[in-house]
Amino acid sequence: MIGKYKGLIIATIAAIVYVVTELYLTDLEYMYRTGIKFLAMVAFVIGGIIVADVKSSSK
């Protein structure tokens, strides 16, 4: 069952990490914030790809 929602879970967690980094971790050094936001964006894209792959394979 979790395989069906894996991409959605990854994308949701990535979006939450991005927002938390943007709003609450302002005192963190710039490079660390940029790295965390970049990894969150990559995870969001990977989650979207997984969701699209699951939708296309279920047809």
The number of domains in the chain is 1
List Cα–Cα distances, 7 to 3, 14, 26, 50, in angstroms: 8, 10, 28, 5
Tokens standing for 46?
Answer: 């990977």
pLDDT for 41 equals: 94
The better pLDDT of the pair 59, 30 is held by: 30
Residues 40-55 pLDDT 10s: 999 999 998 888 887 7
Tokens standing for 7?
Answer: 């991409």
The parent domain of residue 32 ranges over 2-57
- For the chain, the average pLDDT equals 87
For 2, the 3-state DSSP assignment is helix
- The pTM of this model reads 0.80
